[in-house]
Amino acid sequence: MSDTPVQTSATVLTVRQVGDYHALTAVAPGVAERFRPGQFVALAVGGEHTSRLARRCVAVHEVKSDYGGTVEMVFAVRDPGTRWLAGLRSRDRLDVAGPLGRPFRLPRDPVGCLLVGGGPGAAGLFALADTLHRRGCQVHFVLAGATSRQVFGSRMAQRIGDSATVATEDGSLGEKATLREVLPRVIEETASDVVYGCGPTSLLRTVTRIAGDVGLPSQVSVEEFLQQTGACGIGVCMTCVLPFHGDDGVTRMVRACTEGPVLRGDRVRWGDLGTIPFDALGAPRVLHTRPVPERDDVTDRAREEAQ
């Protein structure tokens, strides 16, 4: 099967609410056949005659062979476009492009893997867990959120993981703790060899720092950053760029949708997200003399009009 993504008109099977998120399952055979863990899909929103041009990039939770190939996607309602997605019904049509982006790199030998997730992006961990298990790896989960409604997949993690730790800031599910408090302990208890992260940018920053402190490699999916900034999903619009250290030590701006969404956590310049650092290759000289805005105001206005 070719790795080339496809654009297809998918048939919606179900849309269900899961805590604060929605899970949408659609028949999309070409997408399901090509999918690898860590990739995402870009959904057109608003219907055939809509003025909303920006696609919504969402995480893939699961693919199955049912009906020739189904894809379940998980997302939060953030804007009019995702609200439209949440309102779809069985047999509605949905324009889907995917699978897109770079997937997780998989270990060649069986190792201990720690999968850390939060928010709707945690959905992307479960296809990865299945693949790692088939390679003989041990799979441990840490899921974290502010409340129980913001933790996706806790029951599934407990069912399929070799261990599963859940932490919420208000104590409504699992331990009353933050990710920063539980992650070092779990890394030590599980003797993990590699850490994978999916979820909010703040979670990925914490995963990368703690993994680095104990000398473990980390792979992270910048799913939230892509959702907030991406408009096309295929690398054309250039709205989802972020600063990234290359093998040669040079910072370049890479696209979350194309060079990512899975990146080496220790190579992302987390403190400079939303900016073009003055030392990045090709950065405008004017950035030496004035601060860089956190977001491109022109891009923001364009996205608001498209919504």
Task: Give the C-alpha separation, 108 to 251, whole Å.
Answer: 29
More confident residue, 289 or 147: 147
Q: What is the pLDDT of residues 113-127, one digit of tens each?
A: 999 999 999 999 999
**Residue 38 neighbours by CB distance under 10 Å:** 28
Q: Which one, of 27, 17, 128, 30, lies nearest residue 82 by Cα?
A: 17
Task: Give the C-alpha separation, 27 to 10, whole Å.
Answer: 5
Q: What is the pLDDT of residues 114-162, one digit of tens each?
A: 999 999 999 999 999 999 999 999 999 999 999 999 999 999 999 999 9
User: Whole-prediction pTM value?
Assistant: 0.89
Q: What is the mean pLDDT of the chain?
A: 90
Angle at which helices 179-190 and 201-213 pack, to 10 degrees?
Answer: 40
Mean pLDDT of 60-89: 95
List, in sequence order, every residue forming a beta bridge with 43; answer none if it has no partner: 56, 96
Residue 285: pLDDT band by 50, 70, 90 thresholds? Answer: low
Query: For position 302, what pLDDT does the model report?
Result: 44
- Beta pairing class for 112-117 and 138-145: parallel
Q: Is there a contact between 231 and 237 (Cβ–Cβ < 8 Å)?
A: yes
